Amino acid sequence: MPELPEVETVKNVLIPIVKGRKILDIEIKRRTTIQGDPVVFIDSLKGETFNDISRIGKFLIFHLTNEKVLISHLRMEGKYYEFDEDEPDSKYARVVFHFDNNKKLCYDDSRCFGIMILSSEKEYRQEKEISKLGPEPFAINDVSFLLKASKGKKLPIKSNLLDQSLMTGLGNIYVDEVLYASKIHPLTPSYAVTKKEWELIVKNAKTILTTAIELGGSTIKSYHPGKDIDGNFQTRIKIYGKSGEECPECHSTYRFIKVGGRGTTFCPKCQQKHGIPLNVAITGKIASGKSTILEAFKNKGFDVLSCDEVVKNLYLNKDVSEHIEKLLGISFNDAKVDKDILRKHLIENPKDKKKLEKYVHGLVREEVEKFLLTSNSKIRVVEVPLLFESKFDMMFDTIIVTDIKEEKQLSLLKNRDGFKSDDLRVINSNNQIDQNKNKATYLISNNSSKEEFNKKCEDVISKLISHLD
The amino acid that residue 68 corresponds to is: K
Rounded to whole angstroms, the Cα distance separating 113 from 76 reads: 7
Q: Are 400 and 442 in contact (CB under 8 A)?
A: yes
- Point out the residues that are catalytic: 2-3, 58, 262
Helix 4-18, helix 195-214: angle, nearest 10:
40
Rounded to whole angstroms, the Cα distance separating 361 from 364 reads: 5
Helix 450-466, helix 290-299: angle, nearest 10:
50
Q: Are 402 and 289 in contact (CB under 8 A)?
A: yes
Q: DSSP for 380-436?
A: EEEE-TTTTTTTGGGG-SEEEEEE--HHHHHHHHHHHH---HHHHHHHHHH--HHHH
Edge-first strand listing for the sheet containing 93-99? 23-28, 93-99, 103-108, 79-84
- Dihedral of CA 261/155/239/279: which sign? negative
* Number of neighbours of residue 403 by Cβ within 10 angstroms: 18
* Beta carbons within 8 Å of 313's beta carbon, 6+ residues apart: none
CA angle 343, 345, 347 (to 5 degrees): 70
Q: Are 190 and 153 in contact (CB under 8 A)?
A: yes
The three-class DSSP label of residue 235 is helix
For the chain, how many residues are written? 469
* Beta carbons within 8 Å of 279's beta carbon, 6+ residues apart: 372, 380, 382, 395, 396, 397, 398
